[in-house]
Amino acid sequence: MAPSLLHPPSQLSPAAALQLSQQAPAVLQNSPSTVSKSPFSALFSASETPELWIKYENLLLSCLRTGDELAAKQCLERLVARFGDGNERIMAFKGLVKEADAQHNGELETVLKEYEQILRDNDTNIPITKRRIALLRSMGRVPDAVSALVQLLDFSPTDAEAWSELADLYLSQGMYPQAIYAMEEVLILAPNAWSVHARLGEILLMAATAPGAAGASYQKYMAEALKRFSRSIELCDDYLRGYYGLKLVTTKLLKESAKLAKQAEEDGLVLPDTNTIERLNELATAKLSEIIRHSTAQDRGWRGYDQGEVAVARELLSEDSSAASRIER
Amino acid sequence: MAQVPVQTIHRDPQLFYWILFPITAVMILTGVLRHYATVLMASAAKKLDQKTMREQRSLLHGINVRGNSHALSKRSFTARRDALITAYESGAYLKDPERRGQAPPNPMSDPSSMEGMMGMMKNQMAMIIPNTLIMSWINAFFSGYVIMKLPFPLTIKFKSMLQAGVATKDMDPRWMSSISWYFLCIFGLQPVFNFLLGSDNAASQMAQQMGGMAPNAGQMFGPGVDPDKQFLAEAENLAVIEHYSVLDGVEQRLLEGIKV
């Protein structure tokens, strides 16, 4: 699938981002640089569409990513000409370009000061708040970023993007319970996002295997991880990441099934019995091999998988089968 | 069956140039003007300060927790519920906690809500004034003219609508007076404005009337609503919720639902 300028480019592979930013001269030439607001020219020229400005934004991001700062600045100029200097979104883009221009840490500090100045004038400027947090994080000041995020989430607790960033920050610090809490907040805002369910499952699995977890909390984490992965598959058939996680959890549980103590049924999160875990493991194995087979053969309807993910899944399966044959021997 | 003789009225062709065309042109121009006047007069959406935003979004957060509680496990839901209920009942999210329990301010005296009302007034004015002017203009100059014949037959009931201002009893209802043309223009120019100004224009009065009738989305945080009462109601809603989790028995559902 060719990358489109109408989707935010944050998920693109480097090659796709490069391909997008190489379109920059053509896009900049063919799109109108300004749209006149006078009613008479509006009668004769094509009317302005939101897509045009979305295109400029995404082009700006791709160009910054690939180092084409000239084109990025052109996009920014057009955006500023249309929406003015005071627009919150545009202010964030301006800051982003400045961050990309900065040569050393001192210049980044200046940008940070500017953000703080803007926030002193208007403390509900959410795009700038988020830029500041991102800048703090990229400068390595994670605790500052976390406290700024917590402050943002205190007055705007319905921001899924901020919650997931917070989860990621906590995870990078190894603070699993906090990361899990933040991820659950994302789920409250987007209860049917299978990717978020799977991500929460991954975090739970990490929390379970972390050195500190033991005994009852270990089992609780494992049980919930198992259920989260199952839910993500339930929401999205043939979801590679969900099956991969399910396979990991069930394999691990089966290996340790002897050690697992019987849990008290207090909060509804109990591990299913060994038989069910075995069947889930079989299901995940079968599904994973089906996905690998189809995706390697490039069958119709199976082409969207990320090649790296498929390769990792294949590795997991081969590891599993070699372990199984070792046991048989 | 004898054919009913077709009524013919000899009209001066100048009627077309001097009545029909001017009325239409004036109507379109007023519509365009009204659109731009509304755009000019529209006050920018008022900025929320941080405390108000916190108050509103915290309430929304509670509503989200209540609505999507099934995505959580029982333990994390209970923890959230207890925390939210405590905070709601103690008024931790209120904009100014010391005003708690007092009667909400009169919306008429609150300058922030006055602004919203002024905006509505301005819109209404932009609609009423031109209409009154044009109507009196037409009445003063063109009343009593029969200006055109519709190309399709109509029943007698349309007479009062189409021949307003022309009191002739036996005239075929297909004949139209100038004031009826004006009314037709009011209701029929919407596509023209859509074409000229884009689809979200403010020229059409129909859209504005409809908008006035539809319940306002901002009503929830409108003036005169006591946020403390909203918080307490939400705390109660959270307290009575019967929690279930989608995670209960999900592996059974999966095993039954998916066959390899």
> Tokens standing for A84?
């003015």
| Predicted local confidence at residue B153, as pLDDT | 83
pLDDT in tens, B200-226: 666 655 555 554 444 444 456 666 677
3-class SS at A271?
coil
* Residue whose pair of structure tokens reads 């500052």 in the numeric block: A144
3-class SS at A90?
helix
Between the ranges A71-85, A157-171, B178-192, where is the mean pLDDT highest?
A157-171
Between the ranges A251-265, B2-16, B43-57, B72-86, where is the mean pLDDT highest?
B72-86
- Above 50 in pLDDT, residue A185? yes
pLDDT in tens, A201-252: 999 999 988 877 666 788 888 889 999 999 999 998 889 999 999 999 999 8
| Predicted local confidence at residue A266, as pLDDT | 55
Is the Cβ–Cβ distance between B88 and B232 less than 8 Å? yes
Residue A145 domain-assigned?
Answer: no
* Total count of domains within chain A: 2
Going from the C-alpha of B192 to that of each of B17, B28, B123, B196, B204, the distances in angstroms are 20, 8, 21, 6, 10
- Flag if A191 and B68 touch (Cβ within 8 Å): yes
Residue A3 domain-assigned?
Answer: yes
Amino acid at A64: L
Tell me what the mean pLDDT of segment A33-58 comes to. Answer: 68
Domain that holds residue B226: 15-239
Dist CA B42 CA A63 (whole Å) = 36
Mean pLDDT of the residues in chain A: 85
pLDDT in tens, A13-35: 778 888 888 888 888 877 776 66
- Flag if B73 and A268 touch (Cβ within 8 Å): yes
- Flag if A227 and B247 touch (Cβ within 8 Å): yes
DSSP chain B: -PPPPPP-----THHIIIIIHHHHHHHHHHHHHHHHHHHHHPPPPPPPPHHHHHHHHHHHHHHHHHHTGGGS-HHHHHHHHHHHHHHHHHTTT-SSGGGTTSPPPPTTT-HHHHHHHHHHHHHHHHHHHHHHHHHHHHHHHHTT-EEEE-SS---GGGHHHHTTT---TTS-TTEEEHHHHHHHHHHH-HHHHHHHH-TT-S--HHHHHHHHHSPPGGGGG-TT--HHHHHHHHHHHHHT-----TTTTHHHHHHHH---
Q: Count the alpha carbons within 13 Å of A130 in the hemisphere toward its beta carbon.
A: 18
Percentage of chain A lying above the pLDDT 70 cut? 88
Q: To the nearest 10°, report the CA torsion of B34, B38, B40, B46.
A: 180
Which candidate, B187, B188, B153, B190, places its Cα nearest to that of B173?
B153
Residue A144 domain-assigned?
Answer: no
* Total count of domains within chain B: 1
Residues of A in contact with B254 (CB under 8 A): 230, 233-234, 280, 283
- Flag if B72 and A290 touch (Cβ within 8 Å): no
> Tokens standing for B110?
């609150």
- Flag if A189 and B68 touch (Cβ within 8 Å): yes
Dist CA B26 CA B141 (whole Å) = 14
Alpha-carbon dihedral sign for residues B104, B105, B107, B112: negative
Residues of A in contact with B245 (CB under 8 A): 268
Residue A183 domain-assigned?
Answer: no
Residue B226 domain-assigned?
Answer: yes
pLDDT in tens, B168-208: 778 888 888 888 888 888 888 888 888 877 766 666 555 55
Which candidate, A104, A123, A130, A9, places its Cα nearest to that of A58?
A9
Query: In this complex, which of B36, B54, B68 lies closest to A188 when CB atoms are compared?
Result: B68
Which candidate, A109, A55, A100, places its Cα nearest to that of A82?
A55
- Flag if A276 and B251 touch (Cβ within 8 Å): yes
Domain that holds residue A259: 197-329
Lowest mean pLDDT across A23-27, A41-45, B133-137: A41-45
Residue B169 domain-assigned?
Answer: yes
**Of A329 and B6, which is predicted with more confidence?**
B6
Instruction: Report chain B's C-alpha Rg in angstroms.
Output: 30
pLDDT in tens, B61-95: 999 999 999 989 888 999 999 999 999 988 888 88
Dist CA B258 CA A79 (whole Å) = 49
In sequence order, which ranges of chain A are alpha helices (DSSP H)? 14-22, 24-30, 39-44, 50-66, 69-83, 88-101, 105-121, 126-138, 142-155, 160-172, 176-189, 194-209, 215-235, 240-255, 274-296, 307-328
Amino acid at B62: G
In whole angstroms, what separates CA B226 from the centre of its chain? 25
**Of A157 and B124, which is predicted with more confidence?**
A157
| Predicted local confidence at residue A144, as pLDDT | 93
Tell me what the mean pLDDT of segment A150-166 comes to. Answer: 92
Residues of B in contact with A224 (CB under 8 A): 73, 247
ipTM given for this complex = 0.81
Query: Hey, is the C-beta of B50 within 8 angstroms of any chain A C-beta?
Result: yes
pTM of this structure: 0.79
Lowest mean pLDDT across A157-161, A281-285, B101-105: B101-105
Which candidate, A176, A245, A230, A167, places its Cα nearest to that of A208?
A176
Residue B251 domain-assigned?
Answer: no
| Predicted local confidence at residue B215, as pLDDT | 44
Residue A147 domain-assigned?
Answer: no
What pairs with residue B175 in β-bridges? B149
Is the Cβ–Cβ distance between A65 and A74 less than 8 Å? no
Residue A93 domain-assigned?
Answer: no
Other CB atoms within 10 Å distance of the CB of residue A254: 13
- Flag if B72 and A184 touch (Cβ within 8 Å): yes
Query: Hey, is the C-beta of B60 within 8 angstroms of any chain A C-beta?
Result: yes
Residue A166 domain-assigned?
Answer: no
| Predicted local confidence at residue A36, as pLDDT | 56
Chain A residue whose CA is closest to B29: A39
Residue A176 domain-assigned?
Answer: no
Residue B171 domain-assigned?
Answer: yes
Other CB atoms within 10 Å distance of the CB of residue B96: 11
Residue B254 domain-assigned?
Answer: no
Distance from CA of B250 to the nearest CA of A (A): 6
Dist CA B65 CA B35 (whole Å) = 42
Going from the C-alpha of B236 to that of each of B64, B219, B229, the distances in angstroms are 14, 21, 11
pLDDT in tens, A84-126: 888 888 999 999 999 988 888 888 999 999 999 999 888 888 9
**Beta strand B146-149 with B175-177: parallel, antiparallel or unpaired?**
antiparallel
Lowest mean pLDDT across A141-155, A172-186, A286-300: A286-300
- Flag if A268 and B248 touch (Cβ within 8 Å): yes
Query: Hey, is the C-beta of B42 within 8 angstroms of any chain A C-beta?
Result: no
* Residue whose pair of structure tokens reads 């875990």 in the numeric block: A277
Residue B47 domain-assigned?
Answer: yes
Residue B22 domain-assigned?
Answer: yes
Going from the C-alpha of B242 to that of each of A207, A278, A288, the distances in angstroms are 29, 32, 37
Chain A residue whose CA is closest to B252: A276
